[in-house]
Amino acid sequence: EEVYGVEMDKNEWSLTQVPRLENYGGLIFGCLDENAPPLADYLGDMTWYLDLISKKTQGGLEVRGEPQRWIIDSNWKLGAD
């Protein structure tokens, strides 16, 4: 609530518990398929890049400050282009 606020009523969004959670380099991944392969297998060679980021300092990753938010009228894939 401190970071995301109290504006979102979780009951209105029909949120369900994620059946499987795994942690890699301090990043938390949720998977809805209990039978999916282990996270490290799924990430494969991407772990090299995640290690580069998450192991840059001795303490690992640290969340600092509040998230940045923008509301823009655009195509959904703009962030991926």
Helix (H, G, I), strand (E, B), or coil: what is residue 64? coil
What pLDDT, on a 0 to 100 scale, did the predictor assign at position 77? 65
What pLDDT, on a 0 to 100 scale, did the predictor assign at position 37? 93
Per-domain residue ranges for the chain? 10-61
pLDDT tens readout for residues 30-71:
999 999 999 999 999 999 999 888 888 777 777 777 877 878
CA atoms within 13 A on the CB side of 69: 6
Do 54 and 60 meet the contact criterion of CB atoms below 8 Å apart? yes
φ and ψ at residue 49, rounded to 5 degrees: -70, -40
In the predicted structure, residue 3 carries a pLDDT above the cut 70: no
- How many Å apart are CA 81 and CA 77, to the nearest integer? 6
- pTM exceeds 0.85: no
Instruction: Give buried/exposed letters for 28-56 (b at 16+ CB in 10 A, else e).
Output: eeebeeeeeeebeeebeeebeeeeeeeee
